[in-house]
Structure 1
Amino acid sequence: MASRDSADFDAFYIATVRRVVLYLYAACGDRAEAQDLAQEAFARAWQHWSRISGYEDPEAWVRTVAWRLMANRWRGLRRWVAARARMGRADEATAGPTPDRVAVTGALQRLPVAQRQVIALHYLLDMPVSEIAASTGTPVGTVKVRLSRARAALSELLDEEISDVTSGA
């Protein structure tokens, strides 16, 4: 039975890992971080696979766990940055991503978390509104409002970015 569980989990992992990483990447803006979060969430899924495999949507469970892991890391990062600032230490400069990636990632990061989540689920994972609602435990109407507001905000934020670039600001 253990080998069947292993084969079932392997098939689940292969079928879903790319989508989960893409979702997390949109949410956090860092591919390596998204991969780390996904691996941790899948490791937790494996630990409880006998239960989770019976769920209607095990991928939703993995996404939820990964989202919570990401939120916890952000809290830890904020504490670390605050501690470094108190000690008067500056971070070293590193080479950055392309301007387009910076603009989109920056715009996504400026959205409220709930809007960022529905944008990632809808546009990156091609989930319909009803599935997002079921996956997040949010009413369908609320998901629609969040998507609408997120689209409007992203449009505005990206227009600002383009204006800043063209005006030399």
Structure 2
Amino acid sequence: MRQPADFDAFYDATSRRVLHQLYALTGDLSAAQECTQEAYARAWQHWPAVMAATSAEAWVRGSAWRLASGRRRPRRRPARPARPAPSGGCAELVAALRQLPEKQRYAIVVRQLAGASVADIAAETGTSVAAVENRLAKAHATLARILPGDPALLTGGHRV
């Protein structure tokens, strides 16, 4: 049985964070909004299973990422005016993240912006801890070359 109050509280506590993470992953605010919305709709439809997951937020983030990655396409929603993308350091960070391979980008965003542990990322992606550590090391090295002189962007000190 669905419990709307539980879902509403979960949505209120996590939706903005998941949207920011998905924007960092995709670099496309409109796609991030659409896929995040669809992922929460799916979470509502499967709420008992989502609540039973190790992390409901990781379930939604993973669902939104799969939608954005084209593994599954979200239902078409009526078009709405696009919001301008954030500017300044945020835009610079997102542009740098887009230069990373998808698996490295996912690992670095989930680690830095979501604060997930390496073990949690490994479980979420179905890979080993060593693979996640390797992806993170490569992502850090690439971002250090792309964004020299702004360590806050690399350490999570900057919020997208």
Global fold match (TM > 0.5): yes
CA-CA distance at 1:38 after TM superposition: 0.9
Tell me the amino acid that sits aligned with residue 96 of structure 2: A
Q: Specify the alignment match of 1:112 in structure 2.
A: 101
The aligned length equals 138
Name which one, 1 or 2, has greater alpha-carbon Rg.
1
TM-score by structure 2 length?
0.76
Output the CA distance in 1 between the equivalents of 2:41 and 2:85: 30
The 8 Å contact of residues 39 and 63 in structure 2, kept in 1 or not, is answered as yes
How many Å apart are 1:99 and its aligned residue? 5.5
1:72 alignment partner, SS class: coil
1:28 equivalent to 2:17? Answer no
Whole-angstrom CA distance in 1 between matches of 2:18 and 2:86: 22
Contact 2:29 2:85 in 1 (8 A): no
Task: Give the alignment's TM-score, normalised by structure 1.
Answer: 0.72
1:132-143 superposed matches below 5 A: 132-143=121-132
Once the two structures are superposed, what CA deviation does each residue of 1:104-157 show, in whole Å capped at 9, x if it has no partner? Answer: 222111100000001110111111211111222111111111111000001112
Gaps (5+ residues) in structure 2? 74-83, 149-160
Instruction: Tell me whether 1:155 sits opposite 2:144 in the alignment.
Output: yes
Going from structure 1 to structure 2, the CA distance change for 1:117 and 1:46 (only over 3 Å counts) comes to: same
Show structure 1 runs of 4+ deviating over 4 A.
none
Query: In angstroms, what is the RMSD of aligned CA positions?
Result: 2.4
Secondary structure of residue in 2 paired with 1:127: coil
> Unaligned regions of 5+ residues in structure 1, if any?
76-94, 160-169
Evaluate the alpha carbon distance shift between residue 55 and residue 103 of structure 1 in structure 2; reply closer, same or farther with a 3 A threshold: closer
Structure 2 CA distance for partners of 1:128 and 1:154, relative to 1, 3 Å: same
- The AA in structure 2 aligned to 1:155 is A
Identity, % of aligned positions: 47
- CA–CA distance in structure 1, aligned partners of residues 106 and 130 of structure 2: 15
The Cα shift of 1:48 comes to: 1.3
